[in-house]
Amino acid sequence: MTFTHLLSAGDLDRTDAIRILDTAEELLGLASRPIKKLPTLRGRTVVNLFFEDSTRTRISFEAAAKRLSADVINFSAKGSSVSKGESLKDTALTLQAMGADAVVIRHQHSGAPHRLANAKWTNGAVINAGDGTHEHPTQALLDAFTMRRHLGELEGKNITIVGDVLHSRVARSNALLLDTLGANVTLVAPPTLLPVGIEKWPVETSYDLDSSLEKADAVMMLRVQQERMNAAFFPSAREYSRRYGLDTPRLNRLPDHAIVMHPGPMNRGMEITADVADHVRSVIVEQVTNGVAVRMAVLYLLLGGAAGDSTTEEGTE
Amino acid sequence: MVASDDAPRADNSHAPARTVLDDKDISRALTRITHEILERNRDASDVVLLGIPTRGVHLARRIAKRMSEVEGRIITAGALDITMYRDDLRLKPARALEHTEIPDDIDGKIVVLVDDVLFSGRTIRAALDALNELGRPKAVQLAVLIDRGHRELPIRADFVGKNLPTSLVEKVKVALTESDERDAVDIQGGAA
């Protein structure tokens, strides 16, 4: 592995990305075994440091670490000293003192994982589990993994990502990773929900969902993140879902092999209708299953071998 | 193979290689192992062949093919990746995983593990751990093409293609047409 942290999907070159996906492919088989456990990370400590609410990412990382036999410490900002005003630095130093080998961090501010990794507050590997509106690399990896299982290698495939790109860390990580893997990404959103500087992303953009459906191999719907919206980005929820929501007529216009994805949590009736969310071509539940395998692959590749700074790693022989 | 990784090794890359088994020898050894497995286990109805990647899998497939011919029914071999169970994982950067493919439920079956070279025994130790989590076989047996000695664990093979006494500075290389250009077993280094 050429990296010691996983902060951005853009840090992965093609070899690394493929290696993670291939490893995840092997680890997926574990879920169907009677004993879903590997001894590989025995004695390693993984801290889930969640400053922001999360269901699937946190339990997914927890399941992944536990299936690799790591010790898991869950930390959420609620009910911790963070609510007393403790800084990220002091929290990190505490975790370091407890000997965390990896820190999985979810933070409401973009760049927090980066700060944690580069400030040397912790020796452990830092894995970004979503920072503000910036990045969510493991989500992008599990999305790419899911696409690859359905569509084959992603080189030349057309992926359409629709919705609230402005507030979406998933969209950014996916755009970077899918570009690395050779896919063509189209972002579809109302002009108000495309971020400044989008022209520098390796993607095409469009304001019209209908025109990009026919050629799409996969459509990824993004959640409209109302909790991050401090202004009126579109006139009404109804108008948004009429222009940018995925409903059955639109689903029928997709190619027969195309899949429908959503990183969750969904606003049913907003960006995706309930019929489409539960349709056979929707792989939304499978994305969650694949998330565990992908996160196991990331944890294994970051922690499974000799670490770059092997100060605490030599205790086994 | 864990074994060769653990050996103290001189730079043998320039030393001439000695071929100790050629393609015919390998073929004969595998045929004999096949018959020994069948003889020991009466009929092969309970036998599950599991190769240890990479070359163990090729050998397991070859044995399965021979078994199918003798028994007159299709017998397939599986693969058992032991990477996650190795005891030396933390000594090297994380390695890529190999494919695991278990053809059959192994509960109550006789599992025959197949590997190319038996050396320290650590690979087999890892394989036994891996098997343990897949089910509870009635018995586990071990078939290897080469037993080169120098065991570090109390493990022995049930079926051996060839016993090859070696010194620790020597390196045993098994080449099989499935992954290499030819079928041969070579020894490199040491006193030729």
The length of chain A in residues reads 317
Question: For B5, what's the count of Cα atoms within 13 Å in the CB-facing half-sphere?
Answer: 11
Chain A residues touching B87 at Cβ < 8 A: 316
The DSSP code sequence of B40-84 is: HTSSGGGEEEEEPTTHHHHHHHHHHHHHHHHHTS---EEE---GG
Closest by CA to A244, choosing from A159, A160, A162, A161, is: A162
Residue B14 has phi, psi (to 5 degrees) of: -95, -15
In angstroms, the CA A267 to CA A87 distance is 33
Torsion (CA) B52, B55, B60, B65 in degrees, nearest 10: 160
Q: Please give the pLDDT value at position B140.
A: 97
Q: Does B136 touch chain A (CB under 8 A)?
A: no
Residue A293 has phi, psi (to 5 degrees) of: -65, -40
Check residue A267 and give left, alpha or beta (phi > 0: left; psi -120 to 50: alpha).
Answer: beta
pLDDT tens-place values along chain B, 192 residues long: 444 444 444 454 556 789 999 999 999 999 999 999 999 998 778 899 999 999 999 999 999 999 999 999 888 899 999 999 999 988 888 888 999 999 878 999 999 999 999 999 999 999 999 999 899 999 999 999 999 999 999 999 999 999 999 999 999 999 999 999 999 999 998 764
In angstroms, the CA A213 to CA A161 distance is 11
Which of B95, B98, B100 is opposite residue A305, by nearest beta carbon?
A: B95
List, for residues A29-72, the tens digit of each pLDDT value: 888 888 899 999 999 999 999 999 888 899 999 999 999 999 99
Cβ–Cβ below 8 Å for B84 and A301:
no
Task: Give whole-number Cα distances, B108 to A34, A37, A189, B138, in Å.
Answer: 15, 21, 58, 4
For the segment A114-131, the average pLDDT, to the nearest whole number, is 93
pTM of the model: 0.90
Q: Residue A59 is encoded by which pair of tokens?
A: 């339990």
List, for residues A290-300, the tens digit of each pLDDT value: 999 999 999 99
Cβ–Cβ below 8 Å for B93 and A313:
no
Cβ–Cβ below 8 Å for A34 and B134:
yes
Q: Please give the pLDDT value at position B17.
A: 85
In angstroms, the CA A288 to CA A297 distance is 15
Domains of chain A: 9-136+289-303 (3.40.50.1370), 138-288 (3.40.50.1370)
**Please, which pLDDT band fits residue A202 given cuts at 50, 70 and 90?**
very high
**Please, which pLDDT band fits residue A312 given cuts at 50, 70 and 90?**
very low
3 state SS of B186: strand
Q: Please give the pLDDT value at position A310.
A: 36
What angle is formed at CA B42 by the lines to CA B41 and CA B44, rounded to 5 degrees?
Answer: 70
Q: Please give the pLDDT value at position A79.
A: 72
List, for residues A214-245, the tens digit of each pLDDT value: 999 999 999 999 888 877 899 888 999 999 99
pLDDT at A254 over 50: yes
Domains of chain B: 24-88+96-168 (3.40.50.2020)
List, for residues A128-179, the tens digit of each pLDDT value: 999 999 999 999 999 999 999 999 999 999 999 999 999 999 999 999 999 9
Binding residues of A for carbamoyl phosphate: 56-57, 106, 136, 139, 264-265
Q: Please give the pLDDT value at position B2.
A: 45
Do A163 and A229 meet the contact criterion of CB atoms below 8 Å apart? no
Closest by CA to A65, choosing from A109, A111, A113, A100, is: A100
Closest by CA to B163, choosing from B176, B154, B172, is: B172
DSSP symbol at A196: T
Q: Please give the pLDDT value at position B6.
A: 44
What angle is formed at CA A74 by the lines to CA A72 and CA A79, rounded to 5 degrees?
Answer: 160
DSSP symbol at B120: S
In angstroms, the CA A107 to CA A222 distance is 19
CB contacts < 8 Å between A and B, how many?
A: 56
Q: Residue B45 is encoded by which pair of tokens?
A: 């109805």
Q: Is the dihedral of CA B87, B92, B95, B98 positive or negative?
A: negative
**Residue B81: closest C-alpha in chain A:** A26
Which of B87, B92, B135 is opposite residue A34, by nearest beta carbon?
A: B135
Task: Give whole-number Cα distances, A245 to A174, A220, A222, A225, A273, in Å.
Answer: 20, 11, 10, 14, 7
Do B130 and B147 meet the contact criterion of CB atoms below 8 Å apart? no
Task: Tell me whether the omega of the peptide bond preceding residue A265 falls within 30 degrees of 0, making it cis.
Answer: yes
Residues of A near B (Cβ–Cβ under 8 Å) read: 1, 19, 22-23, 26-27, 29, 33-35, 37-40, 68, 300-306, 313-314, 316-317
Cβ–Cβ below 8 Å for B100 and A38:
no
Cβ–Cβ below 8 Å for A316 and B98:
no
**A105 contact partners, CB below 8 Å, separation of at least 6:** A49, A50, A51, A112, A113, A116, A126, A127, A128, A129, A131
> Minimal Cα–Cα distance from A83 to chain B, Å?
38
Q: Please give the pLDDT value at position A2.
A: 63
Q: Among all chains, which residue has been given the structure tokens 């309970």?
A: B46
Check residue A272 and give left, alpha or beta (phi > 0: left; psi -120 to 50: alpha).
Answer: beta
Give me the interface pTM, i.e. the ipTM. Answer: 0.83
For the segment A79-105, the average pLDDT, to the nearest whole number, is 86
> Minimal Cα–Cα distance from B95 to chain A, Å?
7
